[in-house]
Structure 1
Amino acid sequence: MTHPWHTLTADETLERLSSGREGLSSDEAARRLSEQGANQLEEFYKPSKLRVFLRQFENYLIIVLIFAAAVSWMAGETTNAYAILGIIFFISLIGFFQEYRAERAMEALREMVAPEANVLRSGRMTRIPVRDLVPGDVVYIEAGDKVPADGRVIEETSLQVVESSLTGESVPEDKSRAALAEETPLADRTDMVYMGTTVVYGNGRAAVTATGMDTELGRISGLVQRRPEEPPIKIKFQRLAKQLAVVVLAACAIIFAVEVNRGAPVLDTLIIAAALAVAAIPTALPFITTITLAYGTQIMAGKNAIIRRLPAVETLGSTTVICTDKTGTLTRGEMMVRRIWTGRVVEVTGTGYDPDGSFLLAGEEAVPEKDGSWDERIEGRKGVDPGEDRHLYALLAAGALCNNSRLEEGPDGWRVIGDPTEGALIVAASKAGVLEYVEGWYFDEAVEFPFDSEMRRMTTVHRSPDRLTVSMKGAPETVLAFSGRIMKDGSEEPLGPEDRLRASEAADEMASRGLRVLALAGKEMAPGEPLDREAVELDLTFLGLVGMIDPRREEAKEAIAVCRTAGIRPVMITGDHKLTASAIGRELGILNEGGRVLEGTELEEMTAIELDDVIEEVSIFSRTTAEQKVRIVEALRRKGHVVAMTGDGVNDGPALRTADIGIAMGKTGTEVSKEASDMVIADDNFATIVAAVEEGRRIYSNIRKASSYLLSCNFAEVMTIFIGVMLGLPVPLIALQILWINIVTDEFPAIGLAVEPAHSDLMKDEPRDPAEPILTRGLFLYTLGISTVIFIGTLGLYANALRGGVTIEEARTTVFASLVIFEMYNAYNSRSLQTSFFKMDPRTNGKLILGLAASLEGLLVAIYHPFMQRLFETAPLGGESWAAIIVTASAVVLAAEIFKRMELAEKRSTAR
């Protein structure tokens, strides 16, 4: 029976949990974690090892092999039948290990972006993985967070939570600290928060009352579990496997009918049909795909791009537009106040978040020394109007008060905990010595109206011994709209039209320099005045402007240039002023000649048709809302684009879900944005997104190359048997020899192709059409051409051996060896389906060289080991035979050079 926590007061709850407002100690939390287990839900859809193994037999190609084993059994070839069944088991075992390892790898990647929570431990706020929470912990939650565990609200500031995952109601629920009656239903428990729900407004603290499967969500966790999505490429392979199975069975039926019509014994004909069925199966294809995807996602993780949903890997290679935020993605995310306007321009010096810097007015120090109280410091300055100092103090104090960030010094230097923009205001206040004065004078925050992208402002009310102080920060036009007065040289005056114009012009001038501009306002209220939003924000005093700069990432400009070359269009979507966005866009190369900048207000007035007409011309969208971001993505998709969208806030969730690939920021991203995303960028860097796109292209390219290689091998085997039999020759290969080629000598080089490094010009191609098949028309003709050369050469060597009077075992061994050597040449050649065989550097893919060596060893063992000779019915070959095989097989290199030139003349392909 769950304790009715909603009936207790906050203090009673903490007492019952043996905790306090400062949280648990680290040692006590560790003890409780060991006793109660991790704060996580069971995965109901996680397949068992047995289920993963049995799933290997659902493949159409495996079914055809089982058919071949049955045919061999009926024909009396029990050794073949047992061998085929053994190899089916072996294939399934390999597939099982690869799929299981891939799933474990994906789990490890998901752990890298496991949700985190802000928690008080021994009175100090720290950030820990959600799974480490225990009952008694005190967590801090704010807009954009997923509630990490069930908890009793002990503090709140305008806290609103959407609890649709539990109640089905999408309207935000206001939370409070007041205890409730025991019979209060779950949906009305306003003093409780529940795991999995979403904070959409305000902030607060809650004492954790239940974790893991003991939470309300844990009781209904089956409803929120989601089966993993299959990558489209796996679906395409399943379709291809089905088509191949149909073709194989049809070919077997034709051979059977022709041979029986010729008077051949039925059992002999069944053996031929079984050999043909085995030859047609590219058994390595399914797990080569799995290896490539798993290996690729691990490489991406090493480059800070963490895949949350596997289909995103394939989609990356088709991306045509990247919609990106500016702050932290194209820039460093370390906002610094560079300029202040209070009617006069004050320049601010310093680096990063280090609170060491100067305030310069016309080159002279604009703030008093830090010793003593602010008033003492002002009065002690000679030759300076005290009003100027008081004005600057009021502006910096408002920035420090209207703020949820904090500045701390760590082992690697100063850092900001919280929003970078708010952090810049804190650092500026600290540089002037205002922060310490504010923290010592104001007691606590009475009310907070958090920043909202729609309202574009944030307002706080703080208590001091004898008054209430209101502080507002936001977009200049928004703050000016709420201001009725203006501060000039320390005194307040009515805010007239000329003042508004001067402030607007100053904001535009700052923005044109690439600065992000915020306005600040405030006022004082008597302790007993009402604290509703309308009263608090009425008739504020405009204090001035701050201009911040977030240095651009040097690598972002290069990454944008790579995008242009790769046929990918970068689009900036930002909440910044139009002039600020334009300046940054031009500097980075996003805004080129002819590119447009569209403001949110202009976008709001456009119909969907009007937006579609201009969407291709717009490079930057400024001052946008969450709904407008969704409209932008939808318009781009209507134009046929494959859209990647970045985001970090709770308001970005809808756009991330609407985009083909949602990309969340790992450092600054909220849990809501991460949950809505397909990929998380751990370093919040635009260049990482471009690197992930390149890796997506490499992965798909390698899958196509490996597919072409494997299918050309199987096509050659099928044609060798089919044409050979139709010409009246003995069956060129037995089933076991074919299986050995497909399982051993083909697979090792295919694994090498799966990990082929990206070629230098991979990002010079246009994005791939997501609807195109694995084998495009050009690649299919190339594959067919290569397989034709292999089968003609192999069948020629076979016919020549038979004419030479050798035994059937030696003739079949010639075919066996010819196919393997042909395919070794073909494997190395398949590293690039455009670059010449002779221009590829073997040192860049050591795994392929090892695979070729393993393939050759597998061939020699099957031919020269006595036991293997008996099993595979092979015979030793002499030097003359080997020379003929090696020379003949080299013809595939010449053919490939011709086909590559033909492919280049037709169309550049991403399968390099």
Structure 2
Amino acid sequence: MGMETPVRTPGDGGRGPTAPSGTLGGPTVPRLAPAEVFAELDTSPRGLASTDVAGRRDRFGFNELPQARRRGLWRDLAGQFTDLFAVVLLVASAITFLAYGLQQPRDVGTLQLAVAILGVVVLNAAIGFAQEYSAERTAESLQAMVPHTCRVLRDGERQELPARDLVPGDVVVLEAGDAVPADCRLTEAHEVRANNAALTGESDAVGRTAEPVGAGPVLEARNCVFMGTDIAAGSAKAVVFATGAATEFGHIFRLAAAAPRQKTPLQLQVASMARRVAGAALAIGAALFAVRVPTGQPFVETFVFALGVMVALVPEGLPATLSVSLAIGVRRMARRHALVKQLLAVEALGSTTVVCTDKTGTLTQAEMTVVQVWAGGEPHAVSGVGYGPVGEVSDPRPVRALLRAAGLCCNARLVPPSDREGRRILGDTTEGALLVVAAKAGLDLAAEEAAAPRVAEFPFDSTRKLMSTVHADTGGRYHAYVKGAPQELLARCSAIDWSGERRPLTAELRAAVITANDELASQGLRVLAAAWRPLADSRPAQDEVESELTLLGLVGMLDPPRPEVSDAVNACRRAGIRIVMVTGDHPLTAEAVARRVGIVREAAPAIVTGTQLDELGENGLDSLLDESGELLLCRVSPEHKMRVVTALQRRGEVVAVTGDGANDAPALKHADIGVAMGASGTDVAREAAVMVLLDDSFASITTAVRLGRSVYQNIRKFLIYLFSHNIAELVPILAATFAGFPLVPITAVQILAIDLGSDVLPALALGAEPPEPDVMDRPPRARQERLFSTAVMGRVLFLGGIQALGVTAVFFWHIHGSGIPYSDFTKDEPVYREAITMVQAGIVVSQFFNALAVRTDRQSVFRIGLLSNPWLLAGGGFGIALMAAISYLPPLQDVFNTAPLAAADWAVLAGFGALLLAAEETRKWWLRRHRPGNRKEGER
């Protein structure tokens, strides 16, 4: 396979404006013989001359991806003030300043409160800016995937240089375990296999060649290797033909950068809420002004009063409470290995309805592991996962000869763990799995290699699908060990080792081997066979080595699922979240992994390949996604992922997409929530995502969803808490107006003292409530659901109505008890000052009980424990203490026009608060008793 279409050279302008200008080489490079490539790319087998490098760098630039364009810090900070709710508060602050300017005489308390509102806006902006800046800087500090150094031939000498210094025409030297530093054309290839998972999503290493190729897509040119991939086996020399933004890696980087960032559901909800609150405050202020002017009140005082009410109706503490609640969610997620780069993304995870997850490294450990060995007609299970030699082979004695042969026929090596990373494989991961299982069977391969040194090798190639090595033993005899594809190896065997006895490979035994192979393959395992034969000398021909072999057995291996993923998948199922596997891997492998982790349970899930997706139009894709069954998308490209995400969003789904490779970046950015891998992910993927999993585990996504749902619940809790007392503030004013009372039952200054002094701390404590036990047993909310849903508004009216009735009753009871006519009341009348103090204190006390009531949706607060949130009790206690200070301290009495309350007054107010808690507990009891199967209150 190869290419008629031009391989991009650094001069290929088809990649967009960021591609370097000029040309080097041409479209014929992939079709040229290795010796002709050097002339075409204006270089030589000795590499570039040092004198040529500077000119090429001036022409093509450094070999690095362009930095993502970031707004300046000042613009980021200013952006915190452009949010509509911040604008509402700024307007509220301006109105309060205006009210201060219109007052005669001017009240310094109004000025202080105006400054306080402005301070809340600044504090809220600082919190949001600091949190997002810190999270993004942390994400940028993660290790980049593009290698930092590489080996290059220049002036005929091998040098190690920073990868960013490469230029087109450089000759690089590649070996197993190396990351490819740029897009290169191979000129020498010795059994090279490349892991292209970062670009194609395929976990299997694919063979590379230095020979000319024909026509085909760029990524399928078998004589090219690409930036961001790595060499799994073999060695090679290659000429760089594209660097930086002109590479395939750079192409996907730009594709991701072009995708617009989607607004999260909470961003839309907060914007809608800000518009509603602003409109309601303006309407109510105007209505009160219109009602009071005809009663003969002074025009200016009435206007100031209306402005004050408008300010009071804006919940000044809400933005700070919202930001802090989100920040708490960010910190909780970070402790569970999920780094969130944007505060609002925390909640969006909680509303996720579909997770499109990659397979390799997310559901699996990206570590090949042998799980079963077949020898002598019997299967032998292998325990343990990964590259650590922890585990064992059941009854290892019959399989030691098989594992010894397979282990000796390997070029990979195990790298011991270090302080920075655990045990890993240098070379082919399949061979690494063989080394590990040999150790589990009790074999010391180092001692075996010392006793039987290798004297010859016939490397693996993709044509014959075998690898063979020749070894000498201590007696001067020679043995060949061969491993490879079972079908290929079985055809070259004439005998089989059957429980230690060499038997002729009869048709019956051959059928038994084929059956065993099919059983392993049906489990989604990669199957290798191993065989041996004695040799007469140390330099046999390859045909001799790989014929008349004795089959030793079969080895079945897989990339094991992460042990925690199954529970995470089950949690998603209970939560009503659909999981769609989207991978570049083979369908059988994908289905096997999906079954192991619980994504697939049906007998016949829908398995659709990228080719089949190409054949589906928009309606066909919508029909496919409309089906509620299990779905696996395999062999897909970045464009396929983008189509799927867009189609799901078109159906109203909130889509989270996981990925680690550069090929995932466009879908990550286009999704509602892009989730990148921190340990194995590419820079491109991490840049595109709004959340980074530091441990690469799907289980961390489930934890993040749980915390995200909790954040949304908590937001609703403190919304109910904050807005319910607005009713208690407004109803007495309306009642006094229509009753003809000349003064207000509570002043704007008092209302602002409640909003800023008594409500903020309990609201913050509600924002820090831990998730309720059943949060993952509820279905996700609909994308179009509003924060102020019918249920939420009903609860606000229920709780606010009780508070309003209580404080209104207290006010008029106190006024009427004095026997003073309405017309004789003035602001300085002691009875009036006591009455408005009772109203303010009544709201503060009832809000303390209200905070306890809203901690749960349906569950009794006594069941979770009244003392289980000490911060809430402390915040409520602070509010009551502040109210006591306003009531008893003369300086504050002068500011708020209040009077000292008697012990009996506090007892009456506490009784009203307890009544509110009892009423809410009764409502929850009724819901539990009469509607046990419905969705939790507040979900709809």
Normalising by structure 2, we get a TM-score of 0.69
- Residue identity in the other structure for 1:103: E
- Residue identity in the other structure for 2:416: E
What is the aligned partner in structure 2 of residue 76 from structure 1?
A: 104
What is the aligned partner in structure 2 of residue 757 from structure 1?
A: 770
Distance 2:70 2:444 in 1: 55
Distance 2:345 2:128 in 1: 18
Please say if 1:103 is aligned against 2:136. no
Distance 1:502 1:675, change over 3 A: farther
CA offsets 1:814-867 (integer angstroms, 9 cap, x no match): 222111112111122111132234334133322212211222232223333332
CA offsets 1:434-490 (integer angstroms, 9 cap, x no match): 7896998699999998xxxxxxx998999999xxx999978xxxx95x999544449
What is the aligned partner in structure 1 of residue 369 from structure 2?
A: 336
Distance 1:615 1:603 in 2: 20
Distance 2:398 2:531 in 1: 25
Distance 2:551 2:688 in 1: 39
**8 A Cα contact 2:360 2:366, kept in partner:** yes
Distance 1:199 1:349, change over 3 A: closer
Matched ranges for 1:698-737 at <5 A: 698-729=710-741, 730-737=743-750
Distance 1:290 1:143 in 2: 48
Distance 1:733 1:473, change over 3 A: farther
Sequence identity percentage = 29
Distance 2:176 2:800 in 1: 60
**8 A Cα contact 2:467 2:483, kept in partner:** no
Distance 1:341 1:546 in 2: 6
Quote how far apart the aligned CAs of 1:248 are.
1.8
Please say if 1:791 is aligned against 2:804. yes
- Residue identity in the other structure for 2:604: R
Give the secondary-structure state (helix, strand or coil) at the position aligned to 2:785. coil
Distance 1:270 1:148 in 2: 70
Please say if 1:866 is aligned against 2:879. no
Quote how far apart the aligned CAs of 1:705 are.
0.9
Pick aligned residue for 1:92 from 90, 97, 121: 121
What is the aligned partner in structure 2 of residue 25 from structure 1?
A: none
Pick aligned residue for 2:557 from 548, 552, 556: 548
What is the aligned partner in structure 2 of residue 45 from structure 1?
A: 71
Matched ranges for 1:6-17 at <5 A: none
What is the aligned partner in structure 2 of residue 537 from structure 1?
A: none
**8 A Cα contact 1:720 1:732, kept in partner:** yes
Distance 1:146 1:796 in 2: 76
Distance 1:419 1:708 in 2: 58
What is the aligned partner in structure 2 of residue 810 from structure 1?
A: 834
**8 A Cα contact 2:176 2:426, kept in partner:** no
Q: How many residues align?
A: 806
Distance 1:556 1:771 in 2: 30
Distance 1:690 1:890, change over 3 A: same
Distance 1:647 1:223 in 2: 13
Distance 1:781 1:446, change over 3 A: same
CA offsets 1:32-89 (integer angstroms, 9 cap, x no match): xxxx9x9994863143276257547952243134224314422425325523431232
Distance 1:836 1:358, change over 3 A: closer
- Residue identity in the other structure for 2:694: A
- Residue identity in the other structure for 1:251: I
What is the aligned partner in structure 2 of residue 509 from structure 1?
A: 519
Please say if 1:745 is aligned against 2:772. no
Quote how far apart the aligned CAs of 1:143 are.
13
**8 A Cα contact 1:343 1:488, kept in partner:** no
What is the aligned partner in structure 2 of residue 115 from structure 1?
A: 144
Matched ranges for 1:571-586 at <5 A: 575=585, 578=588, 581=591, 585=595
What is the aligned partner in structure 2 of residue 408 from structure 1?
A: 416
Quote how far apart the aligned CAs of 1:649 are.
4.4
Distance 2:782 2:886 in 1: 43
- Residue identity in the other structure for 2:840: F
Please say if 1:245 is aligned against 2:278. yes
Give the secondary-structure state (helix, strand or coil) at the position aligned to 2:339. strand
Matched ranges for 1:480-559 at <5 A: 486-489=492-495, 505-511=515-521, 514=523, 516-519=525-528, 546-548=555-557, 553-559=562-568
Give the secondary-structure state (helix, strand or coil) at the position aligned to 2:555. strand
Distance 1:198 1:663, change over 3 A: same
Q: Which runs of 5+ in 2 are unaligned?
A: 1-20, 25-40, 54-61, 153-161, 200-207, 211-222, 472-479, 498-504, 533-549, 821-829
- Residue identity in the other structure for 2:605: V
CA offsets 1:707-753 (integer angstroms, 9 cap, x no match): 11111122322333233223222112222222111112111111001
Distance 1:358 1:53 in 2: 57
Distance 1:795 1:615, change over 3 A: closer
What is the aligned partner in structure 2 of residue 894 from structure 1?
A: 918
Distance 1:792 1:347, change over 3 A: closer
Please say if 1:625 is aligned against 2:635. yes
CA offsets 1:686-714 (integer angstroms, 9 cap, x no match): 33222111111101111111111111122
Normalising by structure 1, we get a TM-score of 0.71
Give the secondary-structure state (helix, strand or coil) at the position aligned to 1:546. strand
Q: Which runs of 5+ in 1 are unaligned?
A: 19-35, 124-131, 165-173, 177-190, 369-388, 450-456, 524-540
Distance 1:356 1:674, change over 3 A: same
Distance 1:896 1:825, change over 3 A: same
Distance 1:50 1:602 in 2: 43
Quote how far apart the aligned CAs of 1:339 are.
3.8
Pick aligned residue for 1:316 from 319, 326, 349: 349
Give the secondary-structure state (helix, strand or coil) at the position aligned to 1:760. coil
Matched ranges for 1:88-487 at <5 A: 88-107=117-136, 109-111=138-140, 113=142, 115-119=144-148, 231-324=264-357, 329-330=362-363, 334-340=367-373, 347=380, 351-352=384-385, 353-354=387-388, 364-366=397-399, 400-401=410-411, 406-410=414-418, 414-416=423-425, 421=430, 423-428=432-437, 486-487=492-493
- Residue identity in the other structure for 2:907: A
Give the secondary-structure state (helix, strand or coil) at the position aligned to 2:841. helix
Give the secondary-structure state (helix, strand or coil) at the position aligned to 1:626. coil
Quote how far apart the aligned CAs of 1:425 are.
3.6
Give the secondary-structure state (helix, strand or coil) at the position aligned to 2:858. coil
- Residue identity in the other structure for 2:139: R
**8 A Cα contact 2:312 2:752, kept in partner:** yes
**8 A Cα contact 2:351 2:780, kept in partner:** yes
Pick aligned residue for 2:707 from 664, 671, 695: 695
Quote how far apart the aligned CAs of 1:910 are.
6.5
Distance 1:257 1:92 in 2: 30
CA offsets 1:637-681 (integer angstroms, 9 cap, x no match): 676554444444455556656654443444444445544544333
Give the secondary-structure state (helix, strand or coil) at the position aligned to 2:634. coil
- Residue identity in the other structure for 1:734: T
Distance 1:143 1:291 in 2: 49
Quote how far apart the aligned CAs of 1:273 are.
0.5
With 75-84 and 855-864 compared, the bigger mean Cα shift is at 75-84
- Residue identity in the other structure for 1:408: P
Distance 1:40 1:706, change over 3 A: farther
What is the aligned partner in structure 2 of residue 820 from structure 1?
A: 844
- Residue identity in the other structure for 2:270: F
Distance 1:497 1:675 in 2: 57
CA RMSD after TM alignment: 6.0
Distance 1:423 1:271, change over 3 A: same
Distance 1:425 1:116, change over 3 A: same
Quote how far apart the aligned CAs of 1:887 are.
1.7
Distance 1:557 1:747 in 2: 41
Distance 1:696 1:812 in 2: 41
- Residue identity in the other structure for 1:44: R
- Residue identity in the other structure for 1:518: V
Distance 1:40 1:684, change over 3 A: same
What is the aligned partner in structure 1 of residue 936 from structure 2?
A: 909
Distance 1:300 1:54, change over 3 A: closer
With 807-816 and 48-57 compared, the bigger mean Cα shift is at 48-57
With 221-230 and 561-570 compared, the bigger mean Cα shift is at 221-230
